[in-house]
Amino acid sequence: MPFLGQDWRSPGWRWVKTEDGWKRCEPFSPALEDGNNQLNDISHAVILTGDGEDEEIYSTEDCEFAAKKRKKDHFRDNTDSQCFYREKWIYVHKESTKERHGYCTLGEAFNRLDFSSAIQDIRRFNYVVKLLQLIAKSQLTSLSGVAQKNYFNILDKIVQKVMEDQYNPRLIKDLLQDLSSTLCILIRGVGKSELVGNVNVWICRLETILLWQQQLKNLQMNKQVNNGLTLSDLPLHMLNNILYRFSDGWDIITLGQVTPTLYMLSEDRQLWKKLCQYHFAEKQFCRHLILSEEGHIDWKLMYFTLQKYYPIKEQYGDTLHFCRHCSILFWKDTGHPCTASDPNTCLMPVSPQHFIDLFKF
């Protein structure tokens, strides 16, 4: 039901409760405005009651009260006319003030930054999945009830997208594996769970995760029927350039399994050397130097060995940005109401780990 405040200090916003929590609505929409105008006329009319013989004329105050009551009922019933106020940015504040009470939470950030829509953008998909994976590893116990619901709603949409589009199933498999491992540890002792909420709810969520894992395991890639130009028809130098664009070693191995030619190119020592130099420093090479039987450096094995000890560079098509001047977190293409003279000098990209750090109090 909507909340209509009568406080003179209220900004006049209307709030409506949805599955994702309370959301702010635009004060008026054309359909609702027309209905309100009709309801306003009631306060100046004569209202009839009784058995049909006597007429009772209400006072102006009674008429106004009845009009307000009908406005609220009209607003509740007229769900089609509701227009949600969706700002894809959030003010990150870590202390309470007279103007702003409370703190920003992960659940609030999920709502305001619209991660449900972000996963539909191929540039942001990997970013959101990585963010959920980090939360599954370290921040699951700090999620509130609303944040839990938002988290699993977004996760469900990600799984459905992968099942429909077959886009990057390996990434979501890793996420579900980390999430299921964390949940198994946290709910192992019944009644001693560190998670917010009933332990039976989390057991049901764990069963859902196991079901998702089974569905992804049985996922069959659709064979593309195309009589035009294929990847195998490209010249060797173009195929080689494609492999050099990859920043993930597993992607190179996967592509190398397509054809014998791609396998030969994916085993190139120079390719793996460039990949190691991109992700790791020279000092790290010296600590974990691995030689092949011929006495050469095995750069492919070096990459996967160094990956166990050091984090690799994160590369995303699009990320969230933080404005140091306004303390606002937002998607760059949607912008934010910045008051700085030169907003571009105040922006900094936010990695998934940095995003989580912003909401640690």
CB distance 22 to 16 below 8 Å: yes
User: 123 lies in which domain range?
Assistant: 89-218
CA nearest to 361, candidates 156, 91, 103: 103
In this prediction, residues 45-56 reach a mean pLDDT of 41
Pair (192, 271) in one structural domain: no
Does residue 308 register a pLDDT over 80? yes
CB distance 208 to 148 below 8 Å: no
Q: How far apart are CA 304 and CA 189, in angstroms?
A: 35
CA nearest to 328, candidates 18, 87, 78: 87
Pair (102, 146) in one structural domain: yes
Pair (292, 329) in one structural domain: no
Question: pLDDT tens digits for 156-195?
Answer: 999 999 988 888 888 899 999 999 998 888 877 555 557 7
Provide the β-strand partners of residue 287: none
Pair (186, 121) in one structural domain: yes
Does residue 107 register a pLDDT over 60? yes
Tell me the two tokens of residue 149: 């619901």
What crossing angle do the helices spanning 169-186 and 145-165 adopt, rounded to 10°? Answer: 150
**What is the residue type of 335?**
G
Rounded to the nearest 5 degrees, what angle is found at the Cα of 192, between the Cα atoms of 186 and 194?
50
Pair (93, 212) in one structural domain: yes
- Is 0.85 topped by the overall pTM? no
| Residue 81 in domain | no
Pair (296, 331) in one structural domain: no
Residue keyed to tokens 């949805």: 18
The alpha carbon of residue 289 and the mean position of all alpha carbons in its chain are separated, in whole angstroms, by 39
End residue of a domain, out of 218, 239, 256: 218
Report the pLDDT value the prediction gives residue 132, as an integer from 0 to 100: 92
Pair (114, 206) in one structural domain: yes
